[in-house]
C-alpha cells in the first residue's frame, strides 16, 4: 500500500532506540525525509537513513532549539512524532516515594517535552496541514503497573493531545495519541532497567519475567508488542489515507486493556 508520504518531512524524538527507532525506519521506508532526535545517538539511528540530531528535550530550551534547527535546514514539518519518554525508571517506589524533583524530572521528559516541541513546531505543522503524534502508554489507563509519576504524566499527555486536536483541527492539523502496551524495548529487556527492577520485586529472574510478561499483562496471544507494530500504525496515521483519524488515543497493546 502506498501511504503517499514520499517527499514529506518528519521529526521524531527519542529516536535512537526502541519504538522511536522503529518509527524512524518505517517513515524512511515510506520515502520521507526524517530527522531523528535523541539525547545520545546510536549506530542504529545513524544507519537508518535519517538525519540524527542530538537534543536534550527535558530542558526548557531544548525543544525550541531542535525545531528551529530542523526548520532552518529542512523546511516545514509535515509529521511530528513526540516519542521521547521514559527516564530514570529503574527503581520501584511506593506512590509517595518520589520527591518533587523526581516528579518534575519525569514530567519534563514525558509531558513537557511534547508540549514544548509541539508549541515550537505548530506554526510549521499548520502550514503543511500536518500531523502531531504523541506516543503515550496504556499506563495512562492502567496505572498500577508503572511508577506513579510516569503514568500520571502519560495521562496528562493524552488529554493534551485531545485538546490540541480540538484547537487546531480547524486549521487542518491532526493530532493523535498512540498508547503501546508492554513492548519489547530496553525498558523491559534491560536487566539493569525497569524490567530488572520489576523482576527483583517479584522474586523471579529477569528471563522468567519476560517469558510471562505478556500473559501477566492480559495479552491473549502471550506475545509482547513489537516496536515495529507500533511504528507501522504511526506510519499509517501519517498518511492522507488516515485523514479522519484525529483526536483519539489509539491503543496498540495486543488486547491488554479490556475496557472499551
Residues 6+ apart with CB under 8 A from 123: none
Which of 54, 32, 1 lies closest to 128 in space, CA to CA? 32
Query: Kindly report the CA angle at 76 between 44 and 121, in degrees rounded to 5?
Result: 85
Is 150 among the catalytic positions? Answer: yes
The whole-angstrom separation of Cα 150 and Cα 87 is: 9
Q: Residue 108 CB: number of other CB atoms within 10 A? A: 19
The whole-angstrom separation of Cα 251 and Cα 257 is: 8
Q: Which of 98, 150, 168, 250 is catalytic?
A: 150
Active site residues: 150
Amino acid at each position: 500500500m502506498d501511504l503517499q508520504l514520499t517527499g514529506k518531512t518528519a521529526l521524531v524524538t527519542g529516536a535512537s532506540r526502541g519504538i522511536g527507532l522503529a518509527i524512524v525506519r518505517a517513515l524512511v521506508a515510506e520515502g520521507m525525509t526524517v530527522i531523528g532526535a535523541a539525547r545520545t545517538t546510536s549506530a542504529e539511528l545513524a544507519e537508518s537513513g535519517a538525519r540524527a540530531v542530538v537534543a536534550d528535550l527535558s530542558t526548557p530550551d531544548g525543544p525550541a532549539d531542535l525545531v528551529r534547527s530542523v526548520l532552518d535546514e529542512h523546511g516545514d514539518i509535515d509529521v511530528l512524532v513526540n516519542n521521547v519518554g521514559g527516564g530514570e525508571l529503574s527503581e520501584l517506589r511506593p506512590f509517595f516515594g518520589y520527591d518533587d524533583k523526581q516528579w518534575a524530572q519525569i514530567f519534563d521528559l514525558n509531558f513537557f517535552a511534547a508540549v514544548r516541541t509541539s508549541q515550537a513546531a505548530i506554526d510549521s505543522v499548520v502550514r503543511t496541514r500536518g500531523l502531531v503524534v504523541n506516543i503515550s502508554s496504556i499506563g495512562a489507563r492502567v496505572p498500577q503497573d508503572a511508577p506513579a509519576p510516569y503514568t500520571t504524566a502519560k495521562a496528562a499527555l493524552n488529554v493534551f493531545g485531545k485538546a490540541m486536536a480540538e484547537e487546531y483541527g480547524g486549521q487542518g492539523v491532526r493530532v493523535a495519541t498512540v498508547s503501546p502496551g508492554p513492548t519489547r524495548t530496553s525498558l523491559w529487556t534491560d536487566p539493569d532497567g525497569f524490567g530488572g527492577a520489576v523482576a527483583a520485586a517479584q522474586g523471579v529472574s529477569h528471563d522468567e519475567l519476560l517469558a510471562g510478561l505478556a500473559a501477566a499483562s492480559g495479552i491473549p496471544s502471550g506475545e509482547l508488542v513489537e516496536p515495529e507494530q507500533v511504528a507501522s500504525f504511526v506510519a499509517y496515521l501519517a498518511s492522507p489515507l488516515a485523514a479522519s483519524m484525529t483526536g483519539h488515543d489509539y491503543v496498540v497493546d495486543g488486547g491488554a486493556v479490556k475496557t472499551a
